[in-house]
Amino acid sequence: MMSTLSQKTYMAQETRFKGRYARSVGNTLYQAYRPFLGRTLFFLVLGFFGRAALLSNANLVGLWVDSLCLPPNPCRPMPAFLHYFGSGSLGPLGLLCLATLIGILLTVTFRIAISRLSADAVSTIYDETTMRTSRLPMSFFDRNPAGRVVTRFSSDYNNVFRIFGGPLAEFLGLVFDILAMTVLITMANIWLLPFWLGMAALNYLAYRLNLQSLRKARRETALRRSPSIAHFAETAQGRSVVRAYGKEANFQERFSHLNDAYLAQRLSSVNVFTRFSLSMNIATAISFLALGLFGVWAYEQGKMSVGSLGVAFAYFGLSVTVLQAFFEWLGQFEEAMTGLERMEEYLRMPLAPGERLPASATFSTGHPKEVSTVPVAFKRGASIRICDLWMRYREEIPPVLCGINLEVAAGERLAVIGRTGSGKTSLVQALFHLYPLMQGTVQIGDLEADLSEQSGEPAPGFIPLKDYRQQMAYITQAPALFLGNVRDNLAVAGEKSDAELARAMAQVQFLHDGATEEEYLRLLDQRIEEQGRNLSSGERQLLCMARCLVQDAPIVILDEATSSVDPRSEEIMVRATEEIFKHKTQIIIAHRLSTIKSCHRVLWLQHGRVHRIGPPTEILPEFARSDLHP
């Protein structure tokens, strides 16, 4: 039984991020945009000039107003370059139309281009994170609920995509508006610049004073979202058991508790955002009051013309919307950064020993990459040699395999029996190196899996873990099938023609007796629901057996594959072990002793150790008589 301490510490806690965002978050963004950097910079320049062209309309109108004023009022003469666009009032109006047209074209081009480039860049982050998460140690998935992991790739990713996908162009447009207005206000009258900078400083001060509370609120909201989703996923997976035992109320109560905690955090976040918005409004009101008082004084002193004062109020009036929108979008940007921070945690986690990233991985995260090697090929079966093998799932629990020594000859059919918890499935997991070994070695032929964490070719006598695993075909009690069609589920074993796939399905007699090749070819397009829900248990196992045939691995492992199938499917699977796979090395884990009588030897495991091994005629009767037999 698991100790009280291990029960408390087994499930990993959600990571709580504090303080500033790590530099690696910025590095991840840079690597995502690096392939598009040149084009991104080009369209950013276009965007700035587009926004500047549109905003310059206020300056042009101000110049036109000043050209109409009469002394002794403060006036500005019409700049000489405006006469190229027409005489009198036609000059400013002609340039006004041209600037508007150019501004619209540049802004539209900028928004479309940046949205597309950003969507591609953020999609790369998703792909790179998925690529690494699928190669994390099995202990990671044991200790993290599925809902928590799903949240990183749904809610957190959506927060990232929501700002970096399309709205990033809007956010950058606001940045360009602020920069362009700074330049244009200075051009209108240098005396306006201190007030403009003062208003920006007050708004920034309001943002800085609220930054930590805003960041904490967003992080807590993201943190509170995960448990309810994880609980819902757990309930959905076990819905039949929940209904059978009438425990709907228990799960509803638990979900309501978690959801209430999330909603309470959302309400707390809304209060934080409301205080932030109020402080922004106060900063803007103070800036407007100062500008109004200064404008009256400057006009009376002849330091500012009517046109300049009009430009000032036009920009300051616009800036109320721009600055508030900017800091609101900055808040959204912070939320996206929080989502990116949570995804980036998975992006930088150490991979399982021996795992390599494919050559297509573009992010530099310090993980080893696959190298081209000569494929390993065994003509028929392959021998297996296990020496002094010890394994445990976690450090705080005892080993599940203790000192296993075993040799399986090429082409041998070995049955593995034992009571539940004796280590049968653990032995399979050790063969695949799904969990780190405490000590000992496993060889296929004369080759071991390369479990080093360095890139480069394996040392002599070792092969990449990916190639090592491809030497074994695996059929479990709960077969893994994927949403798609039959062809998709068979082709995961490699590139094969439709004729080869149909032949494999015919060998396992998936359809009725006497089915033609045309029927099996049509079968390849049949839709398969997620987890093969539209197939019977027997059909799912037969499809997995056909996949093993397509894979054509020298070693076939069946882990209680016949435990929940109909008699016809069981007969086909037993025949497959005796005939179709007769030249393969087979390891068959079974509770039904009748299905393993034709094996060459039987391995009897007890408490993770080899209890007996020998021919079925000796081991099976003794096992049946023992009190270890279920």
| Mean pLDDT (whole number) for 367-385 | 80
User: Is residue 80's pLDDT more than 50?
Assistant: yes
pLDDT of residue 236: 66
Domains of the chain: 19-347 (1.20.1560.10), 384-625 (3.40.50.300)
Note the pLDDT of residue 541: 84
Terminal C-alpha separation, the chain: 19
Measured between alpha carbons, how far is residue 592 from residues 64, 182, 423, 525, 584 in Å? 96, 81, 17, 34, 22
For residues 372-391, average pLDDT: 83
For the segment 282-304, the average pLDDT, to the nearest whole number, is 75
pTM (whole model) above 0.85:
no
Q: Which helix (H) or strand (E) holds 475?
A: strand 472-475
Task: Give the model confidence (pLDDT) of 302-332 as tens digits.
Answer: 776 666 677 777 777 777 777 777 777 777 7
User: What's the rounded Cα separation, in Å, for the pair 624 and 630?
Assistant: 9
Residue of higher predicted confidence among 300 and 519: 519
Higher pLDDT, 399 or 296: 399
What confidence tens digit (pLDDT) does each residue in 265-279 have?
878 878 887 787 788
Of the listed ranges 111-120, 177-186, 215-224, 388-397, the least confidently predicted one is 215-224
d(CA 228, CA 235): 10
pLDDT at 609 over 50: yes
Radius of gyration of the chain (CA): 35
pLDDT band at 608 (very low <50, low <70, confident <90, very high): very high
User: CA angle 496-500-501, nearest 5°?
Assistant: 80
The whole-number average pLDDT for the span 358-374 is 85
390 pLDDT above the threshold of 90:
yes
Higher pLDDT pick, 497 / 630? 497
Whether residue 247 has pLDDT greater than 80: no
Write out 60-105 in H/E/C secondary structure.
HHHHHHHHCCCCCCCCCCCCHHHHHHCCCCHHHHHHHHHHHHHHHH
Dihedrals φ, ψ of 555, to 5°? -120, 135
**Among residues of the chain, what percentage have pLDDT more than 90?**
23
| Higher-confidence position of 376 and 579 | 579
pLDDT reported for residue 109: 93
What are 33's two structure tokens? 């945009």
Q: How many whole angstroms separate alpha carbon 275 and alpha carbon 217?
A: 13
Give pLDDT, residue 289.
81
Confidence label for 74 from pLDDT (cuts 50, 70 and 90): low
pLDDT at residue 19 tops 90: no
Query: Is the pLDDT assigned to residue 355 strictly greater than 80?
Result: yes
Query: What does each C-alpha distance from 129 to 349, 419, 625 come to in angstroms?
Result: 10, 40, 52
Q: Quote the pLDDT of residue 7.
A: 41
Confidence band of 183 (pLDDT split at 50, 70, 90): confident
Is the pLDDT assigned to residue 429 strictly greater than 90? Answer: yes
Q: Give the angle 261-264-270 at the CA atoms, nearest 5°.
A: 145
**Residue 395 — very low, low, confident or very high, per pLDDT cuts 50/70/90?**
confident
DSSP string, 104-116: HHHHHHHHHHHHH
Please compute the mean of the pLDDT values over residues 220-234 and round it to a whole number. Answer: 70
Residue with tokens 């042009």: 60
Q: What is the mean pLDDT of the chain?
A: 81
- pLDDT of 453-506, one tens digit each? 877 788 888 999 988 998 998 888 877 888 888 888 887 655 788 898 888 888
| Element of type H or E holding 606 | strand 601-606
pLDDT for 432 equals 93
